[in-house]
Amino acid sequence: MAIVRPFKAYRPQLDLVEKVAALPYDVMDSEEAREMVKGKPYSFLHVDKAEVDLPKGIDVHDKQVYLKARENLQKMISDKVYIQDKEPCMYIYRQIMDGRSQTGIVACASIDDYIKDTIKKHELTRADKELDRFNHVDYTNCNTGPIFLTYRHKDEIDDIVKNWTETKSPLYDYKSEDGVSQIIWVINEESIINKLSDIFAKTDYLYIADGHHRSASAVKVGLKRRKDKLSYTGDEEFNYFLSVIFPDNELYVMDYNRVVADLFGNSFDEFMNKVSEKFHITTFDGIGQFKPEVQRTYGMFLEGKWYKLEAKEGTFNLKDPVERLDVSILQKNLLDPILGIDDPTTNSRIDFVGGIRGLGELERRVRCGMKVAFSMCPTTMDDLIDIANAGKTMPPKSTWFEPKLQSGIFVHEL
């Protein structure tokens, strides 16, 4: 049983939404954010990465950053950049990229569902990143970026969404700077809101697709508020966090590829011989780059050529949802034993390239100093859900979702 409920969103004035909405805080660094906000006084990055309004070199975890985020958000509210809906609503959020759409429900999910594992996870979180978002939520008293949740799609929800979007005018309809259409409808009819809540209440689980650190920090803020308010009822807004909930069959996971700086002391022949013990190797004679379309198959760009790698029997375990992942097979049989990448999260010799940048980026990275690149099949939504259901965690850099949810369209006050 998943609790999904409406909320009184703070949202931008109609004529300002394009100027306010921004990419999520964790897809750029501080210097990139400083460039992105130039000439954009309404950009939500002034809240999500408030160091852009403080001297260069400031520690992004400094208390002044969180105080500035609070100040900037409150100014946007007092200046009427944001308005607040008078009654709790749900919203429909549709994104269209390259002709493909995904449509989710914007609502609040329960911190208790997170604690009870009704909201399932598939990644470990880092304490420093959790603390950063904890402070951001605590100081601003708001969830400023939605958690990207998913569920096994239900025809009942599809029908409600279809009927609403075909018969109602959207609240917002614009294209973001990356060319993605962002379309939002407000659901302000209590009967429809209740129907959606009832359907989700019959849903066994929700799954975090993206936003593990934001959700973990939102839960910790909620628990802190409970401790500070011993007479809490459970109905306070701090018991819930901002989410966009998408059906699993509409989500698009892109490949998340790897580049490595050197061959770990191996000559070309030594490296190829070692790889051939675990993978069948053939030279790719096609045009362009080799993009794998079958699981347990990889592209490898080395010495100006593309090769096709196929994992041999015995290199994977189909019964284990983690070990059967392509990222696990590559890590266990090649990156670690042959290239010495024992921990891809800390080893500086490996880097990761999201599929949105194309395989040409792998070639460019190799020609600019890296030694070898690997193209991969995307992890599937079934993989993600199977791993979460098994209570296991995915290897690092397993999923790359596109398009990214914009921040600043909705703010949930605690």
Same domain as 311, residue 231? no
Which CATH number goes with the domain that contains 360? 3.30.1760
Q: In the chain, how many domains are there?
A: 2
Cα 133–chain centre separation: 15
Query: Distance between CA atoms of 197 and 118, rounded to whole angstroms?
Result: 15
Instruction: Tokens for 409, please give them.
Output: 């369209």
Same domain as 215, residue 83? yes
Residues 83 and 11: beta-carbon distance below 8 Å:
yes
For residue 88, name the pLDDT band (cuts at 50, 70, 90): very high
Q: Where are the beta strands (DSSP E) in 333-407?
A: 350-354, 372-375, 400-401
Same domain as 77, residue 149? yes
Residue 396 scores a pLDDT above 90: no
pLDDT score of 230: 83
274-315 pLDDT tens trace? 999 999 999 999 889 999 999 999 999 999 999 999 999 999
Task: State the virtual CA torsion across 256, 262, 268, 271 in degrees, nearest 10.
Answer: -60
Same domain as 296, residue 225? no
Residue 126 scores a pLDDT above 90: no
pLDDT score of 300: 98
CA distances from 23 to 61, 111, 144 (A): 20, 25, 12
For residue 10, name the pLDDT band (cuts at 50, 70, 90): very high
Task: State the virtual CA torsion across 300, 301, 306, 311 in degrees, nearest 10.
Answer: -10
Q: Report the chain's mean pLDDT, rounded to a whole number.
A: 96
Same domain as 351, residue 408? no
Same domain as 162, residue 75? yes
Query: Distance between CA atoms of 177 and 163, rounded to whole angstroms?
Result: 29
Residues 194 and 210: beta-carbon distance below 8 Å:
no
Residue 389 falls inside a structural domain: no
Ramachandran category for residue 175: left, alpha or beta (phi over 0 → left; psi -120 to 50 → alpha): beta
Give residue 171's identity as a one-letter amino acid code: L
For residue 345, name the pLDDT band (cuts at 50, 70, 90): confident
Query: Distance between CA atoms of 177 and 106, rounded to whole angstroms?
Result: 22
Percentage of the chain beyond pLDDT 70 is 100
Average pLDDT over residues 101-126: 96
Cα 244–chain centre separation: 11
Same domain as 158, residue 23? yes
Instruction: Give the dihedral sign, CA 82/84/88/91.
Output: negative
Average pLDDT over residues 317-332: 96
Same domain as 235, residue 213? yes
Residue 118 scores a pLDDT above 90: yes
Give residue 96's identity as a one-letter amino acid code: I
The domain of 135 spans 4-252+402-413
If you search the block for the tokens 């931008």, which residue do you land on? 12
Residue 391 falls inside a structural domain: no
pLDDT score of 27: 85
Residue 31 falls inside a structural domain: yes
Average pLDDT over residues 166-186: 97
Residue 393 falls inside a structural domain: no
Same domain as 295, residue 216? no
Query: Distance between CA atoms of 211 and 139, rounded to whole angstroms?
Result: 19
Same domain as 329, residue 278? yes
